[in-house]
């Protein structure tokens, strides 16, 4: 059975403090990462925390990209969820690795929307 989507959860370590603490740079990086992956950007919402840190989401036609930063730790938590086969979430992660200057990245992919056979049969009956 084919998955409806791919969800990459990524931990970025050793990132540039200034990049992680600048709302404009973080938003730019996330939008460019979405475009790099082949996604169509719909909306963005970002928030700058005091004294530091940025959180935000880029809504794409194919799902979303989200980020939460801890500049004082050089750390960012990112998730990239894409539906369909046209968009590659790993391209977004690769772009962010370079943009944020991450020294280490730990990431894994979760397939989303793999329907149990009983749900598929029920949907086909409708």
Q: Where in the sequence numbering do the catalytic residues fall?
A: 63, 68, 83
C-alpha span between 106 and 123 (Å, rounded): 37
The per-residue DSSP string of 15-74 comes to --HHHHH-HHHHHHHHHHHHHHTT--EEEEEEEE-SSS-EEEEEEETTEEEEEEEEGGGT
Query: Hey, is 120 helix, strand or coil?
Result: helix
* Both tokens assigned to 20: 């992680």
């Amino acid at each position: 059975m084919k998955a409806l989507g791919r969800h990459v959860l990524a931990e970025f370590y050793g990132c540039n403090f200034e990049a992680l603490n600048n709302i404009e740079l973080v938003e730019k990086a996330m939008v460019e990462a979405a475009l790099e992956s082949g996604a169509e950007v719909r909306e963005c919402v970002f928030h700058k925390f005091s004294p530091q840190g940025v959180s935000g989401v880029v809504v794409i036609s194919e799902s979303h990209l989200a980020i939460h930063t801890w500049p004082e730790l050089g750390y960012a938590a990112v998730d990239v969820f894409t539906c369909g086969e046209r968009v590659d979430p790993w391209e977004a992660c690769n772009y962010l690795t370079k943009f944020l200057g991450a020294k280490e990245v730990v990431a894994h992919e979760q397939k989303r929307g793999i329907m149990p056979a009983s749900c598929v049969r029920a949907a086909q009956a409708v």
